[in-house]
Structures are given as structure tokens and as C-alpha cells.
Amino acid sequence: EFTVDYMEGSYPTLLLYYEGWDGWSSAIDPAKKMTCRERHELASKIVPLFKESEMVPTISPLNEATWLGRRVLRSSGFLYFRAGRPQWFFMAVASCSTPQNTLQSTACDESGFCQGPLLLNIDYSMTNQGSEFSADEQGLLEFHVAVFVLQTLAYAAAIAGVRRGLLRLNKYHVTVKLLVTSSSFLWLSLLLRVIEYQSYSDTGRYNNELATAADFLFDASDLLLVYLMVFLAKGWTLVRYKISSGGRLKLAVLMTVTGFATLALDSWKSYNFDSATVVYYYTTAPGICVTWLRGVVFVWFAYCCRVTMSTFTSKKRFYIRYSAIFGAYLLSKPVMVLVGNHAANSDNRFAFLRVWEVTQLFVGQTLFILMYYPGLSINKGFPFHSVSSAMLGLVQGVRTGDYLREQERGGGGGSAGGAQPAPVTTPTAEAGPGAVQDLHAARSAMTERGLHLRDHLLNLKDASRELLDRLADMDGYDGEDVAFDRDPGGGAYADLDRLGR
């Protein structure tokens, strides 16, 4: 149904195009520089709005209103589109007539048709078999309601289980905060999306503010989860308690570029997206940039996992599974965009990508919630739970490096300058043969010398750790990140323990 207000003396017409995007693109292509008459000829149907007909049964003056000194007329009518399959329909309003009937005509061709100005007020409502949703939006309201319910349960688990459980264990690290914040943003995004679709279903009016807010929250949730994946790929909280200055600089560049790029692209999509010329967001320049950025993040993620696995072989099994699962998560978006561009039909691409993006983010968050949830039997292989709060740097007044050095000394309270060897008790023997006494004396001497040697080696190792800590904080130092255990396979540290024993 439609209602069009226009000035008396102008002759607007409604042009209908039934040939899908191909026919419509030809009609609006600026490179072809077509005249009004040529665009008329491409239309599947022409409805004069200034003439009463079966489709325009009512034309009447609009009270006493005037525009530019002329009366305002109102034409009301209705149209039906019939199709056996999902199909795109386009409408346009034109002002084309002969020179004597055209108000302020500007461009006329040789046949006498002119293109005049349009001054209109249009109100229309389009339904699809009684539904406000078009064919490419069918089922999205029900889908978002279902995912919102599931996300509510996942968010409750993130708050009540992960956050409270790790706070109680004093292990609520920055990486976990990223997960909880990402989950909250997705929950808010789905809530706004449900409200938007429900409002659209009731009124047929598109709420651009709600849609924009939902898009920003969804992309923010996705970015935070991607940052979490990269942090863990670098080994933070898993095998490293500190990332080098070079690594922190690269992470800052990644977060800045992806954050501002996403903000700019979302702004473009919200305020410059023209549904009359763009059939698919990911075919535009901003959509292509988003896809390429995700591909770059995947390459760096794979590189970080590879370096971490080669450096810390004790966690290789975990990182093989981690890189496979979340590498597939990062790579799936470019793959799905490629599939949508070349394989999916233009009638269902929008719903296909929307369902995929929401499902993917929900599943990714759920996997991390299960990994971080304390006490579950399915996440015993996640090495975060084997790391103490002091090693994570979450104990007030305790530096991670000092804690590790104290643990290596056997849990004593020795200072950084050195620790005295603990007293050693050896079994005594009653007076007996001289050979037995010599054996006990030799054993005691060897144990004492071994402890002295162990103490000196620990002092040397203590000094090297302090040097590495200072180098890691210096600008321009790109050495290996400071790890919980620099020799994951045991090596010299294991030999020291055996020597002590």
C-alpha cells in the first residue's frame, strides 16, 4: 500500500522493476547516462500517480496545504507482486512527461520526454504474504530469540561459574575478563536484535538506531574474543607470565588497527549503506577490508601457535588442538564470505551469513567458558588451572619473578642475594667396621658439596632471571617472552633437582 503527496501540475509516475538485480542495476547505472524515457522502457510496469486507475483509486487535495504556491494532491493505492520463488522487486518514482506537462523541466531528449524535479512525500508499507519480513529475512526473529535464550544461559555460566569461581581462586586474570566482557556484549547485542526484529514485525518500521547499536556490540564481542585467542596463542597465562616489549608492541598495533577499522566500517555500514545499490555487504570495499583483516589475524595466530609449540614442547599437545579449533574459527569467516559471494543465491545470502556469524561467535564463547570453568572434568588439559595466582601476577605485593625464584629454592624465604643451604640430616650408624663409617662420611661430604653447588647455580640462575626481566621491560628488546619455565623439557632445572635429591 502507498500514499504519495505531490504538487499540482507535476506528473510523477511509479516505475516497477521485476527482473531482479540485473534489470535494476541497468536502470540506475550512472555510467550509462540513460534518459528518463530509457529508464521508463526498462521498467516492467509504469503506474501514473496523477491519474486514477485500478491501482490508484483515490486522488484528492490535501486539505489547504500548498508547496511553492501550488496545491498538494494525495494519491493512494495498492499493488500486488506475484512470484513462484523468492525474487527481488524494485520501485522508483520518476517525473517524466512532455514539455508542456512538466513542471520546471530540465533535460529533454529529441522525442520530447523531459526529466523534471521531484518534490514528494511518500508513505508505503510492503508485506510478504502478511509478514513484514522479506524472503531473505524469514525466520531471523525466531533464530535470534532461540540464540538469545542460549546466550543467557552461557552468560550466567560466565558470571556465576567462571568469574566467581576464578575470583575465589584468585585467578581472575585479564584474559578471563576479556571472555566475560565479550559474553556480555554478545548478550546485549542479541537483546537489541530481538527488540529490533520484534518491533519491525509489529510496525514494519526499520529502527536504524537499534540495528546500529546491535552491530557495534556484536563486532566488539567478536574482537574481544579474537584478542583472547591471540593472547593465548602467545602463551600468556599458559606458559608465559610476561610478554616481551616487542610482543606487546605488536599486540597493540593489532588491537589498534582492527579496532579502528571495525569502528569505521560499522559506521559506513550504518550511515552510508544504500540498499538500492548494494545487494550484499561483503561485496563492498568495507566488507572486503573486514574479510582481509580477519585473514591477516589468522596468519598471525597460526604463527604465534607455531612459535609457542616449538618453544614449549610440554604444551604441544594442547596447542595442536587449540590452534586447530580456533584457527578454524578465524578462517571460517573469509571462507563463508567466499562461499556467500560465489555459491549462495542472492535471495538467501543475508540470512546465511547472519546465522553463521551469530552461531560461530556463540559457539566460540561457549568453548572458552567450558575451558575456563573451574572444576569441570572436561578441561583438565587446560594448563591455566595448573598455574597459581602468584605465577599469574594476581597476588598483591608479590612479583611473579620473585615467586618463581622462591619456589625454585624449595619454598624458602631467601633473599635475591642468595640463600643459605638448608641443614641436611644424614642417618647415623652405631660404631662398627671402619668401612661403614667411611661410607657414611663420604656420603655426607658428597651431599654437602652437592648442596653448595646447587646453591651457587641457583644464585647464577637468579641473576640471569633478573637480567631477563629488565631486558624485557626495555624498549626495543625483542627477545623471547619471559616464561614460567624456560626449559619446558626439564633440562638443567631438572638436573638441579636431582642433584639436590
pLDDT of residue 105: 43
**pLDDT tens-digit readout, 29-72:** 777 777 777 888 888 888 888 888 888 888 888 887 888 888 89
pLDDT of residue 208: 84
Using CA atoms, how far apart are residues 105 and 117, in angstroms rounded to an integer?
Answer: 7
pLDDT of residue 108: 55
pLDDT of residue 429: 41
99: pLDDT confidence band, cut at 50, 70 and 90?
very low
Strand, helix or coil at 246? Answer: helix
Q: Which residue has the higher pLDDT, 482 or 71?
A: 71
Using CA atoms, how far apart are residues 376 and 367, in angstroms rounded to an integer?
Answer: 13
* 166 pLDDT above the threshold of 90: no
Segment 190-197 shows an average pLDDT of: 94
* 221 pLDDT above the threshold of 90: yes
Show Cβ contacts of residue 67 under 8 Å, excluding neighbours closer than 6 positions: 7, 119
* 438 pLDDT above the threshold of 60: no
126: pLDDT confidence band, cut at 50, 70 and 90?
confident
Q: What is the mean pLDDT of the chain?
A: 76
The HSE-up count of residue 357 (CA atoms within 13 Å, CB side) is 22
CB-CB contact of 225 with 179 (8 Å): yes
Q: Which residue has the higher pLDDT, 274 or 385?
A: 274
Neighbours of 476 (CB within 10 A): 8
Using CA atoms, how far apart are residues 40 and 152, in angstroms rounded to an integer?
Answer: 52
103: pLDDT confidence band, cut at 50, 70 and 90?
very low
Segment 340-358 shows an average pLDDT of: 78
**pLDDT tens-digit readout, 171-188:** 888 888 999 999 999 999
Phi, psi of 285 (to 5 degrees): -60, -45
pLDDT of residue 368: 92
Using CA atoms, how far apart are residues 430 and 123, in angstroms rounded to an integer?
Answer: 110
Show Cβ contacts of residue 198 under 8 Å, excluding neighbours closer than 6 positions: 141
* 498 pLDDT above the threshold of 90: no
Q: Is 3 left (phi over 0), alpha (psi -120 to 50) or beta?
A: beta
**pLDDT tens-digit readout, 444-468:** 667 767 777 877 777 787 677 667 6
